[in-house]
Structures are given as C-alpha cells and as structure tokens.
Amino acid sequence: MSPAEALKKESVYQPDQKGLIFPDLPAFETFEEERTHRKQRLVAACRAFAQHNFDFGFAGHISVRDPEHTDLYWTNPMAVHFSQVKMSNLILANHAGEVVEGDYAVNQAGFILHASVHQANPDIVAMCHAHTPYGTAYCSLGRPLDPITQDAACFYEDHAVVNDEGGAVAVAKNQGLGVVEAFKNNRAILHQNHGLLTGSRHSVDSACYWFIALERACQVQLMVDAAATKPIPVTPERARYSREHVGSEYIGWLHFQTIYGQLAEQQPDMFG
C-alpha cells in the first residue's frame, strides 16, 4: 500500500490554496524508487533518534518493510551509533533475523521482535524501538498514558501496555506474543520494564515521529505525576477528536518532513 492510499483522514493542516510550498506525499514509478525513498527515510529516522539522544549502546532499532519483497526488512546495523547510520550500511533482514543484504550484523534478538510484529501484521510498514529514559521509566509503571494534553491524546485508545517479562530476549524464546498481538489494534506499545515501540501502517516517517511524540508524552506524564495537584484530563470525546485530527498517520508523516528537511541539509553524509 502506498502512503497516499494509506491516507484515510483529511487534515486541517493541508493548505486550501494550490501552488504554495507544502510537503507532498511521495509517489513512485518503480519498486527501486520506493526502496531508495524508504531507505533514505530510515536513515533519517536513525539520525533523528541520535538528535533526541535515544541511543543506549547498541539497543534500539528501526525497521521498514521492503516495498517489493514484503517479507524482508531494512534496518540499522548492530553496534553502529544512530548518528552514523547511512545508506551504505543499512542491512536487509528476513523474519528469522538473517541478513540477506548488507555487510553488517543485525541485532538478532531485538530484530526478531520487529520481524514477529511485521509478520503477524502485514499492514505494518515500519517500526521503531529504543531504550529511552522517559519511556523506559514510564513503562515500569504498567499503566497507559492519560489524555492530559493534546499530544498525549494522539495515543488515546491507540496504545497498550504489554507486560511480557524479559523484553526482546523473551521474544526470542517465543514469549513476545503480547507485543505482536497488541499491535493488531494499536500503533504504540509500552512494553513494561523494557521500553517503547511504535508501528506505522503508513511510513517510517510516521513511525519515527510518533515514537518521538510518545517519548515526550511519557516525559510530560511523569512531570505531571510528580506535581502536587492532579491534572485535568481531556474528555474522551475530545481525546478521540485529537487522535483523529492531530494524531493521524498522515500528521505523523507531515511532522517528520521538518526533521527530514533539516537532516538532509545539515547531514548530507547520510546519503553516502
């Protein structure tokens, strides 16, 4: 499915007046074009993770499905810092976590979690995971995010807490079914005692942006939880409205275009 086909919701942010400069959803003539595009966005997503200090040793990975060979996934190489990921060191891996193209190793235990989700959810195009400070802290509480801000409301009734023990290691032992199942009805998972995951049925752009937004929502929730007074939540109706209109996959894609534009100009080595 192309991003244009996946766009189900109209956005109030799209300009009414034609001819103005505004990001357009991409269209492709060939798989090769689309593959190159997805790989470039994957690299940019890794660089964005570096900018947000989402690195933690070799933990964390971003995957995007190959447009032609849909049982294969492009991902970042293991033990390479997010800031050093580029087109030439990406790897292509299969469901078993075997590298079928590229020179670098894959984080097999971690990648199998992604592969399992992708395999069970053929509509999920891209996934993100990292061991981020606020996300991992909030995940230890074992409760979903409250709709206390417009940004948090973007995840209202669209995220789940999964309490499998052992994280990605457990998945390697076939105990990670909770995450796989939870992604059927959600686009974000708070994996208890492990960290955050996002999945996108639209693009790696959207998966990356909503990961950044989810980490920030966890940060804000922790700040509010530490406050002396209780926050006033958004009503369920208002939270659903926010999710539909400012929390859509398209909006995630659109937010990411600001990140991509800045990275493409300032870090041209990512295309090397």
Rounded Cα distance, 17 and 55, in Å: 41
Q: Which of residues 61-100 bind Zn ion (CB under 5 A)?
A: none
Closest to Zn ion by CB, 7 or 78: 78
Q: Which of 264, 161, 163, 250 is nearest to 209 (CA)?
A: 250
Q: Which residues pair with 93 in a beta bridge?
A: 73, 99
> Sign of the C-alpha dihedral, residues 173, 175, 177, 182?
negative
Minimum CB–partner distance for residue 55 and Zn ion (Å)? 12
Q: Which is nearer to Zn ion, 122 or 166 (CB)?
A: 166
Q: Residue number with the shortest CB distance to Zn ion?
A: 168
Exposure b/e, 110-123, CB count within 10 A at least 16 = b? bbbbbbbbbeebee
- Helical H segments across the chain, by residue range: 3-6, 31-51, 108-120, 133-139, 150-153, 167-172, 177-182, 204-225, 236-246, 249-266
| Cβ-contact 114, 76 below 8 angstroms | no
CB of 251 to Zn ion, least distance (A): 27
Using alpha carbons, select from 33, 88, 234, 225 the residue that is nearest to residue 148: 234
Q: Please report, as residue ranges, which positions from 165 to 184 form the binding site for Zn ion (by CB under 5 A).
A: 168
Residue 7, classed as helix, strand or coil, is coil
The DSSP letter of residue 56 is B
Q: Which is nearer to Zn ion, 67 or 167 (CB)?
A: 167
The CB-of-129 to Zn ion minimum distance in angstroms stands at 6
Looking at the Cβ atoms of 129 and 201, the one nearer to Zn ion is: 129
Binding mask 119-158 for Zn ion (x = CB under 5 A): ----------------------------------------
* Interface stretch with Zn ion, choices 7-15, 153-161, 162-170, 220-228 (CB under 5 A): 162-170
107 vs 186, beta carbon nearer Zn ion: 107
How many residues belong to the site for Zn ion (CB under 5 A)?
1
Decide whether 28 or 58 has the Cβ nearer to Zn ion: 58
Least distance to Zn ion, CB of residue 210, Å: 17
Q: How far is the CB of 130 from Zn ion (least distance, A)?
A: 7
Least distance from Zn ion to the Cβ atom of residue 30, Å = 35
Interaction site with Zn ion (CB under 5 A):
168
